[in-house]
Amino acid sequence: MIRSRLVSELITGALMCGCAMQPLPPVSGNPAPATSPSVAERLGRYTTVKLVADESRLTPKELQMLPLLVDAARQMDPIFWVEAYGDRDSLMRTISDPATRQLIDINFGPWDRLDDNAPFVASVGPKPDGANYYPRDMTKAEFETAVAGGGARADSLKGLYTMVRRDASGKLYAIPFHEMFGAQHQLAASKLRQAAALADDPGLKNYLTLRAQALLTDDYQPSDFAWMDMKNNTLDIVIGPIETYEDALFGYKAAHEGVVLIKDHEWSERLAKYASLLPGLQRGIPVPEEYKRETPGGASDLNAYDVVFVSGQANTGAKTIAINLPNDEEVQLRKGARRIQLKNAMRAKFDRILMPIAQELIVPDQLHNVTFDAFFGNVMFHEVSHGLGIKNTINGKGLVRTALKERYSALEEGKADILAMYMIRALNAQGQTASTNIEDNYVTLLASMFRSVRFGATDSHGRANVVAFNFLQKAGAFTRQPDGKYRVDMAKMRDAADSLAARIITIQGSGDYEGAGRLNAEFGTIGPQLQADLARLGAKAIPVDIVYEQGG
């Protein structure tokens, strides 16, 4: 839980797992040196938003279920602390400054996620690429040697749901999540089972029951299938080890999070029609046939929700405004995916961040093109676009995710951003009115790129947007005017977006790890002019992101 005051209350009752803890890097109770931004300046990059959701739509039983789901989600906080850093309590005992403690809790550690993980506690050192998933003295080469022979040991070391440690002889071994975090998993599972007992909707009851079992076994696929089969629920929860962003060493390890949601049925009904159109949209992607030979699952759906409570990875750094799950490629190909738009979070970011950025950086005669509807549409079709393209390489290198390793996440986010423009245009051509004015989507995309680039190079969305910004600018999709504001060239934006989409999907389908590196090397650096323009936003005190004041 993130609050504007007394953030030490955020991780209330955070019980750390006592097994196989990593040695901690040295810390000091003093803020980082004065040459870096002050703690106050770092905190000033956030604006606090109170999470409000309409609970009047809930039945009496659902109102009883809600605190149980929040309690289950809360258990993800102490687990993510271990994954991201180690022992929170030992760190906090060295820190007396309240503002520094607040910033540590926002970041789940002493590294600023909105500043490329720069340390803000003196002597803490850089954040390990592998976070706390691997021994801190382990090299990438050592790990790759350990898994080179394949087999069960290699699979467990690379597994999504394991922590890697050393035995007494120094040999690497894996600890399953359900063992490493047994206490938290068992408590969360108990809360999910209690909620399932109250659920009237059979789909929700089945999902909660299977998700509870998954926390005890690390076998999440049955609950992922159940989640996709669940259609009529009002309450929902995303819980467990989900995304792999935290593992910047290999991208193998999932991070724990919890998101409790209330569905807006009226908005969801408006969105539902687009999911059935995915197979046709796949066929029209501007890439060679072999890169679009897969057929997206037909059970994909779109829903609008309000966020009630967030924890773990979902509540750190740049907060998500949409969810696209499950990540399991087999589930996606058989069932599709669920794309969830987080309405209350999205509205807060548009009003507090995106519009002030646009007013500073977009030419006045295109400012009217920056609209909430376009922002909502861009984000929605970003999530839908994750289902397009290719999940398995065309040349026998296995899953795209596996072949591209730590370079996968940013490339996949970039694909979804840019394919969203193709989807909106294609749907409009089919008479589906995905947008009343595609120019709104283009200009809003540019304004949103400035927003996302500010998340920094350690954030997958931030890296994706730096590449997209530089690629599109080089192609003439937009130009910077003498007064420092930007103008979109609509025709060039369309062609450049299609070109970038084709390059990304080709890299993915070929499992081209080196090609992904070349794309980032060519376009993944923030240049001096863009850096100066981003500094203007900071000088205007435009926040970078939000923190939640939430109940529960």
Query: What pLDDT is attached to residue 461?
Result: 76
- More confident call, 69 vs 430: 69
DSSP per-residue string spanning 174-237? EEEHHHHTHHHHHHHHHHHHHHHHH--SHHHHHHHHHHHHHHHHS--HHHHHHHHH--S-SEEE
**Structure confidence at residue 32 as a pLDDT band (50, 70, 90):** very low
Residue 232 lies in a domain: no
* Ranges 269-273, 311-315, 391-395, 522-526: which has the least confidence: 269-273
CA distance 323 to 339: 6
pLDDT digits (tens, 9 = 90+) for 187-199: 999 999 999 999 9
Joined together, the tokens standing for residue 532 give 């100066």
State the DSSP code for 428. H
Residue 507 pLDDT > 60: yes
**Structure confidence at residue 299 as a pLDDT band (50, 70, 90):** low
- More confident call, 436 vs 26: 436
Q: Which domain holds residue 298?
A: 264-549
Residue 217 pLDDT > 90: yes
Residue 343 lies in a domain: yes
Residue 106 pLDDT > 60: yes
DSSP per-residue string spanning 324-380? EE---HHHHHHH--EEEEEHHHHHHHIIIIIHHHHHHHB-GGGGGG--HHHHHHHHH
Residue 5 pLDDT > 80: no
Query: What pLDDT is attached to residue 25?
Result: 41
Joined together, the tokens standing for residue 39 give 């703690």
pLDDT digits (tens, 9 = 90+) for 325-383: 999 989 988 988 888 889 899 999 999 999 999 999 999 999 999 999 999 889 888 87
State the DSSP code for 544. S
Q: Going by DSSP bridges, is the β-strand pair 478-480/486-488 parallel, antiparallel, or unpaired?
A: antiparallel
| pTM of the shown model | 0.76
Grouping H, G, I as helix, E, B as strand and the rest as coil, residue 541 is coil
* Ranges 19-23, 305-309, 357-361, 444-448: which has the least confidence: 19-23
Cis geometry, peptide bond prior to residue 135 (ω within 30 degrees of 0): no
CA distance 50 to 480: 36
Query: What pLDDT is attached to residue 286?
Result: 87
Query: What pLDDT is attached to residue 303?
Result: 86
**Structure confidence at residue 102 as a pLDDT band (50, 70, 90):** very high
Residue 13 lies in a domain: no
Residue 119 lies in a domain: no
Residue 11 pLDDT > 50: no
The burial class, CB within 10 Å (0-12 / 13-18 / 19+), for 528 is exposed
* Ranges 49-58, 140-149, 439-448, 510-519: which has the least confidence: 49-58
**Nearest one of 141, 140, 81 to 106, comparing CA atoms:** 81
**Structure confidence at residue 52 as a pLDDT band (50, 70, 90):** confident
- More confident call, 233 vs 13: 233
Query: What pLDDT is attached to residue 276?
Result: 73
Residue 519 pLDDT > 60: yes
Mean pLDDT value across the chain? 89
CA distance 419 to 474: 19
Residue 166 lies in a domain: no
Residue 147 lies in a domain: no
Q: In the chain, what percentage of residues exceed pLDDT 90? A: 72
Sheet of strand 338-342: strand arrangement: 235-241, 256-263, 301-312, 338-342, 322-325
Query: What pLDDT is attached to residue 297?
Result: 63
Q: In sequence order, what are the residues at sequence separation of 6 or more whose Cβ sits closer than 8 angstroms to the Cβ of residue 103? A: 39, 42, 43, 112, 120
Number of folded domains that form the chain: 1
Residue 8 pLDDT > 50: no
The answer to whether the Cα torsion of 166, 161, 72, 238 is positive or negative is: positive
Q: Are 328 and 228 in contact (CB under 8 A)?
A: no
Residue 403 lies in a domain: yes
Residue 516 pLDDT > 60: yes
DSSP bridge partners of 309: 260
pLDDT digits (tens, 9 = 90+) for 473-487: 999 999 999 999 999
CA distance 239 to 259: 6
Q: What is the mean pLDDT of residues 157-182?
A: 98
Residue 12 pLDDT > 50: no
Query: What pLDDT is attached to residue 421?
Result: 93
Query: What pLDDT is attached to residue 262?
Result: 96
Residue 17 pLDDT > 70: no
Residue 29 pLDDT > 70: no
Joined together, the tokens standing for residue 260 give 């409790």
Q: Which residues of 329-343 are buried (b: 16+ CB within 10 A; e: fewer)?
A: eebbbebbbbbbbbb
Residue 394 lies in a domain: yes
* Ranges 142-151, 456-465, 479-488: which has the least confidence: 456-465
Q: What is the mean pLDDT of residues 429-455?
A: 89
**Structure confidence at residue 34 as a pLDDT band (50, 70, 90):** very low
CA distances from 271 to 180, 339, 389, 432 (A): 40, 10, 21, 11
CA distance 166 to 270: 52
pLDDT digits (tens, 9 = 90+) for 242-292: 999 899 999 999 999 999 999 988 777 777 777 677 788 888 898 999 998
Residue 445 pLDDT > 50: yes
